Structure 1
Amino acid sequence: MAQILSKRSRRRWDESVISRSRGSLKVKEDCLQLRRETLPGISLEPNLVSQFLQGCITNQSLKPAQQLHAAIITTGAASDRFTSNHLLNMYAKLRQLPTASALFKTMAHKNIMSSNILLGGFIQNEDLEAARQLFDEMPDRNVATWNAMVTGMAQYGFNTEGLEYFARMGRQGFRPDEFGLASALRSCAGLRDIASGQQVHACAVVCGYETDPCVGSSLAHMYMKCGRLEEGEGVFKAMPMLNAVSCNTIITGRAQNGDAEGAVDYFSCMRRAGLKPDQVTFVSVISSCSDLGILAQGQQVHAQAIRNGVDAAVPVRSSLISMYSKCGCLVDSARVFRESNDADRLDLVLCSAMVAAYGFHGRGQEAIELFERMVSDGIEPSEVTFLSLLYACCHSGLKDKGMEYLELMCNRYSMKPTLRHYTCVVDLLGRSGCLDKAEALIKSMPVSADAVIWKTLLSACKTHKKVEMAERVAEHVLRLDPQDSASYVLLSNIRATKEKWDDVSDVRRAMRERRVRKEPGISWVELQGGEVHQFATGGRSHPKQREINRFLDELISKIREFGYVPDRSMVYHDMEDEEKEFSLAQHSEKLAIAFALLIMPPETPIRVMKNLRVCDDCHVAIKFISRITEREIVVRDVSRFHHFRDGECSCGDYW
């Protein structure tokens, strides 16, 4: 006859096992052996079993759970569906899918929860094929079943399939909950499918989940990913409570949609509201400061990251390296990099960021030295590292080194170059004058060419005055992107260098007919207090415009005395020489530099940002200005930095 324990004894034993399951979980064989010997014929309590198995999951301990499984079989508790489901969940969470599948097949009393547990296990372990098969075989499904499939597809990037499961769910009469809606919206965001996103939004309204924090954040993220900033922010304003997650979505959405200034402004609003920013916030805001080239604001955000204790995080430090670099402070980028790396071990992400920083400033040799140090330390470079390295070689005239690294990437590391890698190589070949090789590469590469890579070659045609090739290349660019204003301008300028004014007129007529507008040249300079002043080419809107023009006239007269001659070939219009010289003097970077020289203290470096490439005439003029004023002038154009000092430029006239 089986021994019967008192309730007090049984409770003591249960509490002992639960305590072990919540602690170290080093439950030895003698614990279960004691249970079998002391309590023959007494069934295991399901609640006790579930507590023990949950402890195994928490501590990722398989052996004690297997021992309990043996006891469950011995005592006959395996016939209890509650116990079997907890066992199934334990094996799924510990990634023991073959055991979980075998257990599922032998379960005498399965239910929907049993199937959902195994389905979740397959999805968690990225076995989507097995998940699909089990889903199709299930005789019954509930909302949790559908949610698992919608979420699983979205999680692994199968966004179209995720939306298909969501649509099937609705057609079969199931009302989605907040989890299914949020996952469907993530799929819409991944596809940038605004039409489907609006349909899911309507569904969320009908189901009453529009203001749910999870659904609201996903909804705003979807709108912002699709470029609908106002709708995204409107969703947040309708929510009953704003939190750090929702603010992050707004800031990231603005940054990703080119509204860097809006991202920085919203960060200020977030702080005034008393919400604490996290890593995600700082990465987005620092990246926005990079895009704007606003050093003072970037330094303030850096200080706030330190105060919030997130400055040591790799994504934040990587963003800081990039920010200081793009604001013209390569020394500060190097300082953050040095402080971020272990004495014995370099970090791949930070190294890639620093290689990119060197490349952006034309410091190709330093980029190569850091790359070689990485490799010697046993760090395997990523595709991003090679992209930054190729860029550095390109902007330093290191053609042979660049081609060597492309070969290394393919042969030693078995990486397939992406279109961005090939674009860098085409730029590398084009700048060095190997235009035929660059064109042959575009035609032979295994990925389809886009407008950007052809435009890169078109720019090289302008540099080397290859008119016939430019005409051919321009056809490819305009076929792929007929609204790209830069390509029309490049083609027009190439024709203008040969004084083919009728052909220039044809290009401008085509722009008018297709309603393509030339992007105006804009430069901006940041004063010491963080105040930013912007100038447009030929602009007349600045409050100090008369004073700037007067000072600029004097400056140009002085540099003429030192040998500066305006390069009238940089004016691509059929006009008198005097008009051409006046047009050159009104370029936005010249206006910005003249203003900075008037306002800023003599010992302060001048940092100017420009949205287009610095023209040849401005490049020569700024070299003369740096010489006669004895000032350091840093100019960031669309592709790189130029550090002017004592009449020389860091690019070595190669840009």
Structure 2
Amino acid sequence: MSKRNVMSCNILIGGFVLKGEMEKAVEVFEGMGERNVASWNAMVAGFTDVGWNVEAVRVFNEMHCSGFCPDEFTLGSVLRGCAGLKSLTAGRQVHAYAVKYGVEINVVVGSSLAHMYIKSGSLTEGDKVIKSMPVHSVAVYNTLITGRTQTGCSEEALNQYYIMKMAGYRPDKITFVTVLSSCSQLATLGQGQQIHAEAIKSGATSSLSVLSSLVSMYSRCGCLKDSLKAFSENKIPDVVLWSSMIAAYGFHGMGNKAIELFNQMEKERLEPNDVTFLSLLYACSHCGLKDQGVEIFDLMTNKYGLDPRLEHYTCLVDLLGRSGRLDEAESVIRSMPVNIKADSIIWKTLLSACRIHKNPDMAIRIAEEVIQLDPNDSASYVLLSNIQASAKEWQNASGFRKAMRDMRVKKEPGVSWFELKNEVHQFCMSDKSHKDSEKIHLYLKELFAEIKLLGYKPDYGSILHDMDLEEKEDDLVHHSEKLAIAFALMNTPDSIPIRIMKNLRVCNDCHVAIKYISAIKNREIIVRDASRFHHFKEGQCSCGDYW
């Protein structure tokens, strides 16, 4: 085959790859009597682009066995494939090729190697690669920042962002999307606002991906109005941006608003995707919109032809379980398609519904499913213990706690935090480690005396241990969110809303108490718990006591 014919075939392959028509690209590739490095590169990159990562690695190996030397473009593409597979073994083999051919310090290869290691869960090896590179770039820093965000090390991600800026590199839209995601995870509003200002200054807010990240960040930090403002900055309908806003409404318990936006989305002829429907189902489940949620689930499959994922079924189970249709929720799990396997999360969702509707018999059966899948998960033991304690079956409750101890399963402690002047203050139940601990406890004592005069009565049902009433009341007063709220009231002006974050669900007693506190102090108190936001104002909560 002539040189010109090789080039012509490469152009054809490139065209098919751009269109995502890999079958046609393979047909041309396999019909070539002669190939060059560019031919192999096109195929490896093409397979990686469409997510056929196993094929990308296979073609790379075939290229090597055929006597061709991979260049930096080959290695960059196949490393993306290894990252997609999260295969450290394949990635390390490609790393060995890079060392052999002397291109491991190339910016493209180095960045791809670091990305592969970080995506595959080896942050240490990823860091080592980057430190060995003689020249850094925005792409290199983005790899570091993204790796830390994806592995849940959000504080480290923000630190890398500031190091990047000090080194003189200008963040791009990829940087902003990633660091805003870190701010969302940490719920650090102050830092999020600073990064937003920097994004405006750099012109990055013209990017839809940055706007979507801003919508999510402000939503996760409790500022729905700012989410809506960021959403309104774009006049061109976009499915990702609109889905982000639907999710924001759902997270703040505004299910009807989420449905309204979806209806508007349909009028704009925007094709919703599986993320859009996941956000809608979540919104419905947290607002008690049972009938609308079931209708949306059916719409997803019947009108739009989308196959529900496990996450969609989990939302449907939550929707049915919260509304008391426990048997129907269990039937949904047991009748899921054979290619979707129930995980511990979907069973725990149903178990939580058993607690809400006080069905101990069903709870025991469902808990067995959770424990079988994940014996070390504390949630099932805690939920079972709580169900028994709520029924004042103290012996049974302590039995489940003992089972936890015997299995060496540890309950996740409740932690609440509040951001003041860019510093995050953390509180645990009955915490005395904070520097203002004595002042906080004294303030709480006076505050609870005030709200009792308004009619507050401690909900002793929220205490899951057998103890006398005085001990129970003291236990309730010192829950982590109450400590955080007291500290916030002591340190902020009267006109500013208070935003508290918590890692677990808000208990019934705290929910009632915060309503009274919002009334007596005339303050808006916004609390984010494990699943949603509660906006307390003038003695009411946005959730309507449905959470």
Give me the TM-score of the superposition, normalised by structure 2: 0.94
1:278 to 2:188 alignment: no
CA distance in 2, matches of 1:512, 1:143: 60
Change (3 A) 1:438 1:595: same
Q: Of the candidates 310, 313, 318, which is equivalent to residue 212 of structure 2?
A: 318
Give the match for residue 499 of structure 2. 607
Match of 2:361 among 463, 468, 472: 468
- Residues 79-118 of structure 1: CA distance to partner in whole angstroms, max 9, x if unpaired? x956xx2xxxxxxxxxxxxxxxxxxxxxxxx5x5565455
TM-aligned CA deviation for residue 506 of structure 1: 4.1
Higher relative contact order (CA 8 A, sep 6+): 2
Aligned residues: 545
Inter-partner Cα distance in structure 2 for 1:486 and 1:647: 31
| Structure 1 residue 536 displacement after superposition | 1.6
Change (3 A) 1:627 1:147: same
Q: Are 2:293 and 1:402 aligned?
A: yes
Task: Work out whether 1:511 is the aligned partner of 2:404.
Answer: yes
Amino acid corresponding to residue 283 of structure 2 in structure 1 = A
Q: Distance between the aligned counterparts of 2:175 and 2:239, measured in 1?
A: 22
Structure 1 residues 252-271: aligned runs within 5 Å: 252-271=146-165
Q: Is the 8 A contact 1:341 1:347 kept in 2?
A: no
1:555 aligns with 2:447: yes
Structure 1, unmatched stretches of 5+, are 1-79, 86-109
The alpha carbon displacement at 1:491 in A equals 2.1
Alignment of 1:348-497 (within 5 A): 348-446=239-337, 447-497=340-390
Displacement after TM superposition at 1:428 (Å): 1.0
TM-aligned CA deviation for residue 374 of structure 1: 2.1
Displacement of 1:144 in angstroms is 3.9
Q: Tell me by how many angstroms 1:280 deviates.
A: 0.8
1:203 paired to 2:97: yes
Instruction: Give the Cα–Cα distance (whole angstroms) in 2 for the partners of residues 172 and 508 of structure 1.
Output: 62
SS in 2 for 1:277: coil
Give, in angstroms, the shift of residue 157 of structure 1.
Answer: 1.2
Query: How far apart are 1:543 and its partner, in Å?
Result: 0.8
Spell out the pairing of 1:36-435 with structure 2 (5 A cutoff): 81=2, 85=4, 116-136=10-30, 138-342=32-236, 346-435=237-326
Shift of 1:566: 1.8
Query: Of 435, 453, 464, which aligns to 1:572?
Result: 464
Q: 2:417 is paired with a residue of what secondary structure?
A: strand
- Separation (CA, whole Å) in 2 of partners of 1:448 and 1:436: 19
3-state SS in 1 of match to 2:116? helix
Report the aligned-residue RMSD. Answer: 2.1
Equivalent position amino acid for 2:353 in 1: A
Superimposed CA distance per residue, residues 456-478 of structure 1 (whole angstroms, 9 cap, x where no aligned partner): 11111111111111111112222
Give structure 2 stretches of 5+ with no counterpart. Answer: none
Report deviation, 1:414.
2.4
Give 1 or 2 for the bigger CA radius of gyration: 1
- Asked if structure 2 preserves the Cα contact closer than 8 Å seen for 1:170 and 1:176, the reply is yes
Structure 2 counterpart of 1:378, one-letter code: R
Distance 1:250 1:523, change over 3 A: same
Distance in 2 of aligned mates of 1:126 and 1:320: 31
Please report how far the alpha carbon of residue 215 of structure 1 lies from its aligned counterpart in structure 2 after TM superposition: 0.9
Report deviation, 1:593: 0.4
Return the letter of the residue paired with 2:327: D
Q: Residues of 1 paired with 2:393 and 2:99: CA distance?
A: 61
The one-letter amino acid of 1:303's match is: A
Q: Is the Cα contact below 8 Å between 1:461 and 1:467 reproduced in 2? A: yes
Within 2, Cα distance between the matches of 1:355 and 1:123? 34
Higher mean displacement: 359-368 or 172-181: 172-181
Take 1:118 and 1:513, find their aligned partners in 2: how far apart are those partners?
65
Q: Tell me: CA distance 1:616–1:160, structure 2 relative to 1, closer, same or farther (3 Å).
A: same
TM-superposed CA distance for 1:450, in Å, is: 1.8
Go from structure 1 to structure 2 and tell me whether the alpha carbon gap of 1:147 and 1:511 turns closer, same or farther (over 3 Å shift): farther
Q: State how far apart, in whole Å, the 2-side matches of 1:533 and 1:357 are.
A: 25
Q: What whole-Å deviation, never above 9, does each CA across 1:482-533 have from its counterpart, x for those lacking one?
A: 3322233222222322344444344334434444321111111112x22221
- Give, in angstroms, the shift of residue 135 of structure 1: 4.5
Query: Distance between the aligned counterparts of 1:316 and 1:440, measured in 2?
Result: 41
Partner Cα separation in structure 2 for residue 137 and residue 379 of structure 1: 41
Q: 1:345-387, CA deviations, whole angstroms, 9 ceiling, x for partnerless residues?
A: x333222211111111111222222222222233332222222
Partner of 1:44: none
Report what 1:646 is aligned to. 538
Identity of aligned residues (%): 57
Corresponding residue SS for 2:206: coil
In the alignment, the residues of structure 2 paired with residue 229 and residue 295 of structure 1 have an alpha-carbon distance, to the nearest angstrom, of: 27
The separation in 1 between residues aligned to 2:70 and 2:2, in whole angstroms, is 27
2: CA distance, partners of 1:509 / 1:163: 50
Q: What SS does the corresponding residue of 1:311 show, helix, strand or coil? A: helix
- The DSSP-based 3-state class of the residue aligned with 2:527 is strand
Give the letter for the 1:599 counterpart. Answer: N
AA of the residue aligned to 1:301? I
